[in-house]
Amino acid sequence: MRFLADPPRFLFFTGKGGVGKTSIACASAVRLTAEGRRVLLVSTDPASNVGQVFGATIGNRITPVPGLRGLDAVEIDPASAADQYRERIIGPVRAVLPEDEIASITEQLSGSCTTEIASFNEFTDFLADTATTAAYDHVIFDTAPTGHTLRLLQLPGDWTGFLDAGGEASCLGPMSGLEKHRASYANAVAALTDPARTRLVLVARPQPTSLAEAQRTARELDEIGLRATHLVLNAVLPEDAVGHDPLARAIRDREQRAITALDGTLAAVPRDEIDLQGQNMVGLEALRVLLSDGDERLGTPVSSEARPGDGESVPAPQGDQQHLDSLVEELAAAGHGLVMCMGKGGVGKTTIAAAVAVRLADLGHRVHLTTTDPAAHLDRTLTATADLPTLTISRIDPTEAIRDYREHQMATKGARLDAAGRAALAEDLMSPCNQEIAVFQKFTHLVNQAARTFVVMDTAPTGHTLLLMDTTGAYDRDVRRGMAPGMKFTTPLMRLQDPGYTHIVLVTLPETTPVLEALELRDDLVRADITPWAYVINQALSVTATSSPLLRRRAALEAEPIRTVEAAAPRLAVVPYLAEEPVGVARLRELTSSRVATTAPGT
């Protein structure tokens, strides 16, 4: 594997959600420890599943990985990091200041901005604090999905520039200035931009949308002074696994066309390809095989003579499952409302959201399809919408949101200030914290719009969405404190908690880890009094007619995850793995038709 040849001290794995960053990061750590290196594996994903991969409890403290000498791991937990951050500020003065002032400071430090900064400070410690990482030969970062990671990688430069300009981040509370972090941020920037110290590996699937996202990521990294050094194409279906199966042939050909079409920055980056495995990437044995140089895929011997029917028997999914179309028809009965597709990155939220929006528009409803994912591109999934006049599409772009927010603040609040006051306001608005506020305002507008029409929202991957929910909760608490008894009001959180107004659709894959993460997301939502309305299991091989031994083996693994979702879901739709990528209105309509094509056209 070229991306592991003569590795520098820091290795970053980043890419769109669901491409296998965690598996490859964990497998890389296992391989380096096998070579006698001491390795620290750091997850910056708010929805980390490193512990699940190793079958161990990791958490937010550096913890030895059981059964593997030389490997420690840590999962940066945003909530825990924020608690510790607040306590470092409040603890020393708790016995000195009045109780109401302590409460005020605590509230100022309760928003998502504090959560982001606390996580960010932990991240920079691993890059810049030699005392934390001195014992390790390598530090491997398993990052959050692309949009969240780009934000994280921008922050060292953003905060350094803000401090250089003399700014003081008032959003962090009255006693928590950032000047003391200047050296740490500067060291983090130096480490990130030095190819001798940091290797940045883009991970993608051999699919057009995934590769387009990787290309965009490479370009945006370059814009902030970072250079992607390697590309890993994960889960490539090998030729010898196709046999006589039309579905496998369609998948293989689609993947190879996408790889051949690579151009620009990605075409020049050293590339590794990793075969699709016949087993889930959980446990040390699976991780050791993933990056092995042998000629055997885990659980599936290589054979050039695969025959129809070879491989595992595939039990048909049992239980009360619905077609996606029946879910949409039930939604349509209300005439308006908010539909939020949530889940881990890479499970197909964008596809399912677009299919739901198209079907609602076909049923004659006005529909606004939008995304809160910084890395999402609905225009790639939903093309040629001329025959859907009632459908509009938008995207909450963080860059546009912060620009609009700053302009609005200067035009309203700034209009009442003198020159010195306007200069101070302009400086304060340059704080990176304001981006979360700006995005939340756009989100709130869309939530309220669902009172008159359908708003179908493709949300960011789990961790980023939970931060948005945190902002929503903080705003709700703030509004309630300011209202006199008996006054009527409606906050965005109240809209989300109303099952007649908001329908949460949890999208997942028929695999153990994505299902566990979907259930964890459900628990997080329930704690905020938000109840999921339905679940969608996407890309299920077990409801196709595949005869490929490798695909059948993977299909057989789906039975237990599907049963787990069935036990939890008030409503469940299972969407098959499609021969053709569901891009464009026609193919999206197929997802909500009575018959979904699961073999190649003409077969």
Provide the pLDDT confidence category of residue 276 given band limits of 50, 70 and 90.
very high
The overall average pLDDT reported for the chain is 80
**112 within a domain of the structure (yes/no):** no
Helix then strand count (H, E) for the chain reads 24, 15
Maximum distance among all Cα pairs of the chain, rounded to whole angstroms? 80
Looking at the structure, tell me whether residues 251 and 359 fall in a common domain: no
Looking at the structure, tell me whether residues 218 and 356 fall in a common domain: no
Q: Which letter, b or e, does each residue of 488-505 get, where b requires 16 or more Cβ atoms within 10 Å of its Cβ? A: eeebbbbbbbeeebbbbb
**507 within a domain of the structure (yes/no):** yes
Q: List the single range of 212-216, 254-258, 475-479 with lowest mean pLDDT.
A: 475-479
User: Is the sign of the CA dihedral 77, 82, 87, 89 positive or negative?
Assistant: positive
Strands 71-75 and 63-64: antiparallel
Residues spanned by the domain of 553: 324-403+442-591
Provide the pLDDT confidence category of residue 309 given band limits of 50, 70 and 90.
very low
Last-in-domain residue among 270, 290, 310: 290
Q: List the single range of 373-382, 418-427, 490-499 with lowest mean pLDDT.
A: 373-382
Looking at the structure, tell me whether residues 275 and 343 fall in a common domain: no
List, for residues 281-308, the tens digit of each pLDDT value. 888 888 988 987 654 444 444 343 434 3
Looking at the structure, tell me whether residues 243 and 363 fall in a common domain: no
pLDDT of residue 46: 64
Looking at the structure, tell me whether residues 330 and 271 fall in a common domain: no
pLDDT of residue 483: 66
Q: Which of 333 and 524 is assigned the larger pLDDT? A: 333
**CATH number of the domain that 218 lies in?**
3.40.50.300
Looking at the structure, tell me whether residues 285 and 384 fall in a common domain: no
Looking at the structure, tell me whether residues 284 and 328 fall in a common domain: no
List, for residues 519-564, the tens digit of each pLDDT value. 988 988 888 888 999 999 999 999 999 999 999 999 999 999 999 9
Chain CA centroid to CA 92, Å: 36
Looking at the structure, tell me whether residues 454 and 360 fall in a common domain: yes
Looking at the structure, tell me whether residues 536 and 459 fall in a common domain: yes
Provide the pLDDT confidence category of residue 511 given band limits of 50, 70 and 90.
confident
Looking at the structure, tell me whether residues 498 and 541 fall in a common domain: yes
Helix residue ranges, H only, 278-348: 284-290, 324-332
Task: Show the tokens assigned to 352.
Answer: 């399912």
Q: Is 231 helix (H, G, I), strand (E, B) or coil?
A: strand
**83 within a domain of the structure (yes/no):** no
Residues marked as catalytic: 18, 20-23, 45, 513
Among the listed residues 203, 193, 197, the one whose alpha carbon sits nearest the alpha carbon of residue 142: 203
Residue 297 is classified by DSSP as B
Residue 317 is classified by DSSP as P
Strands 39-43 and 138-142: parallel
Looking at the structure, tell me whether residues 156 and 283 fall in a common domain: yes
List, for residues 119-154, the tens digit of each pLDDT value. 677 777 787 767 888 899 999 998 764 444 545 555
Domain total for the chain?
Answer: 2
Looking at the structure, tell me whether residues 270 and 352 fall in a common domain: no
pLDDT of residue 314: 55
What pTM was estimated for this model as a whole?
A: 0.71
